[in-house]
Amino acid sequence: MVQSFRLHNMTTATPTPTTTATASMDIAIGGMTCASCSGRVERALKKVHGVQEAAVNLATESARIVYADGEQMQARLRRAVRDAGYEVRTPAQVDALESVSPWAGVGPVAMGAILSAPLALPMVGDLFGQHWMLPAWLQFLLATPVQFILGARFYKAGWHALLSLNGNMDLLVSIGTTAGWALSVWLWLSAPDGAMVHLYFEGSAVVITLVLLGKWLEARAKRQTTAAIRALHALRPDVAHWLGRDGEVDVPVADVLVGDRIAVKPGERFPVDGTLQEGTTEADESMLTGEPLPVRKDLGDKLTGGSINGEGRVVLQVTAVGVDTVLARIIRLVEDAQAAKAPIQRLVDQVSAVFVPVVLVLALATLLGWWLTGHPFETAVIHAVAVLVIACPCALGLATPAAIMAGTGVAAQYGILIKDAQALEQAHKVDVVAFDKTGTLTVGRPRLSALLVPDATAKAEVLRISASLQSGSEHPLARAMLAAAQEKGVAITAPQQLKAVPGCGTEGELDGRHYSIGSLRWMDELGVSLGPLATQSAALQAEGATVSAMAERTAHGLILRALMAFDDEPKPGASEALAALRARGIHVVMISGDNRGAAEAMGRRLGLNPEADEVMAEVLPGAKAALVAKLKAGGGVKPGSHTVAMVGDGVNDAPALAAADVGLAMGNGTDVAMYAAGITLMRGDLALVAAALDISDRTVAKIRQNLFWAFAYNVAGIPLAAFGYLNPVVAGAAMALSSVSVMTNALLLKRWKPRQ
């Protein structure tokens, strides 16, 4: 669904005197018929003072504008669209158009067919040696309503194009069919009394009918490409069972606030995001994540608006409403991707800008060429009309956006959210995929497997100190320490002077003593000696454990107090996912901040080969982006440039996700990672990485097929029409078929499914 007047602030920092706040706006546009139309609207919008970017999408019939925020900018942008000769649609109009019957708009097509059929009947009779000919006056009466009533839309749009010194499909159709109709009238009125002359009323009437048929079929296909968006919108219930002082009350979902308690009955959709407070259930999240099996939900678990409550009545506490819900963000991502313009579209824009003027010149050349070589004037006109009719840039304008809409829509159904068309187009080129380890390739829930301390130190005290120091951290290893302390019933004390050292660890004071806890690499930089524990540390790392250390700052320097070893498990299906990528000829790399022994041991469990540079260990979070840049330049891979995808889930992965050609964020990760990535995988299934690359392959293939046939159709059709091998009726049928074939080819993407 196109959100006609969505306005959102694009500035994240506080404006300064040198910073201009920008905003973006979507406008639904009616009346565009071809690539030339969308190009004309785009140029009109870019002329508005303050507009920084403008992209018009013919398939979605919408414009996305980024502009310097200013007074009355929205009104000025809408005025620019109207001045260009097109309609600005309101959200209500858009909703009405999307909810219409599949047969809506067929009336003019049916009327045109009824009036044109008697005119085309003599053409059919000629095939069987029959010479049926309607009287000239009857042909005139049948063709004229088709030409000027049913065809009025072409005159109106063509006139606006002419006033702005631009051309479009409507101008070509109106000039061509008017020429055929006018020639027929002239031949009829100038013929001697009683003479039977061949008229061309059937050409103009049938062409208009065929063009109307093509546009109607095209509109039906467009509605199918936006089915994914409509399905997502349909997931939002209108009413919530709000629990207040007077018990359970049904209220509009728009009235629900964060912190409210909402009851959800079996089989109902969760109206908003929240956490489970009462009861247990299984939630069907298939429309959001593509996961076919229900997910068990216990007390405290997150519930996503739009998913279906399975068994029993439950109560949730609201955590997000409106545009802040997961479903709203998903809808916004899919809408943004479908509204965006792919880089490959630039070629189409360049061609469409000069296409119609070139066609008009070719039609004039055809007219003069046939006439000046001694052929009758009416023959020259008919061949020129055929050139005008067949040379329509509709298919060119629909080729790319139709495929993108279908591809992003079907991907969203399987839990793959593609944020922009550029990510979709780049993904099919990927030949290197780099994975973050913890939480991406592994489960991300490490547990404390060993606590090594010097003989004179009590383990319980070390556990208390280390857990207290990390009590405010969200790092997986910190959570493992806290879980171990809770299991042992160890009391946690709030530390003082706590300071996180990025990529290294944490330092702070507890009970008046200063401690540092973090990686062995950091301890080595601080000059901490492992002493008698060095051998045990090496053995644990060789077994694949992640080893951290805690040291105390004393008058004699930093003294080792403990070593902590952590175990993590590979994520289910991770090895198979990596093998699937290798089967596509993709080089796979794991990036880890762990020590080399632990990283290589985990890599081998996943089927990676450390000797082939498939495991990159001891990488600081800030160095991940630099490593991605190195991979792009061929470092650690085959020489030469490469297209690199980065897969991650944490805050520290965001720079690397942004640095990669394609960033893929796991949907169970942080919002920062998902914001930086071009593609978000809504569930933690690594098989979706190969699926995302596959849907990119399929979509780009459809774009190329569509563009090839759109260009080939015009390259072949115009000369055939110019040299007299196509009459206007056949040309009109071919023109209608070209647009329908492009849309139909794009819709084949809806049959795509991830490989199992």
Q: Which residues carry out catalysis?
A: 436
How far is the CA of 510 from the CAs of 467, 557, 685, in angstroms? Answer: 11, 17, 41
Does residue 679 contact residue 665 with C-beta atoms inside 8 Å?
yes
Strand ranges for 90-177 from DSSP E: none
Cα separations in angstroms, 259 against 241, 247, 256, 273, 307? 14, 16, 9, 11, 19
Alpha carbon 752 to its chain's center = 16
Encode burial over 79-117: b for 16+ CB neighbours within 10 A, e otherwise: ebbeebbbebbeeeebeebbeeeeeeebebbebbbebbe
Pairing verdict, β 496-501 and 505-510: antiparallel
The two three-digit tokens of residue 533, written as one number: 């524990």
* Measured distance CA(64)–CA(4) in Å, rounded: 10
3-class DSSP string for 431-469: CEEEEEHHHHHECCCCEEEEEECCCCCCHHHHHHHHHHH
Neighbour-count burial of 170, counting CB atoms closer than 10 A to its CB (0-12 exposed, 13-18 middle, 19+ buried): buried
Give dist(CA 242, CA 253) in Å, integer: 9
Phi, psi of 19 (to 5 degrees): -115, 130
Q: List % helix, strand, coil for the chain (3-state, nearest 5).
A: 50, 20, 30
- Closest among 663, 608, 728, 661 to 200, alpha carbons compared: 728
Query: H or E stretch including 17?
Result: none
Tell me how far apart the terminal alpha carbons of the chain are, to the nearest angstrom: 31
**CA–CA distance from 250 to each of 279, 306, 318, 333, 709 (Å)?**
20, 17, 15, 30, 54
317: left (phi over 0), alpha (psi -120 to 50) or beta: beta
Under 8 Å between Cβ of 702 and 403? yes
Query: What token pair was written down for 361?
Result: 């010149």
Answer whether 682's CB lies under 8 Å from 416's CB.
yes
The interaxial angle of helices 687-722 and 377-390, nearest 10 deg, is 170
> Strands 587-591 and 432-436: what pairing?
parallel
Among residues 667, 724, 751, 753, which one has the least CA distance to residue 329? Answer: 667
Q: What is the 3-state secondary structure (H, E, C) of 555-604?
A: CCEEEEEEEEEEECCECCCHHHHHHHHHHCCCEEEEECCCCHHHHHHHHH
Local structure of 314: helix, strand or coil = strand
CA-based torsion, 89, 103, 395, 742: positive or negative: positive
Which residue(s) pair with 7 in the sheet?
Answer: 25
| C-alpha to C-alpha distance for 501 and 504, rounded to whole angstroms | 5
- Among 237, 305, 241, 306, which residue's Cα sits nearest to residue 274? 305
The residue type found at 688 is L
Query: Hey, CA dihedral for 245, 249, 252, 257, is it positive or negative?
Result: positive
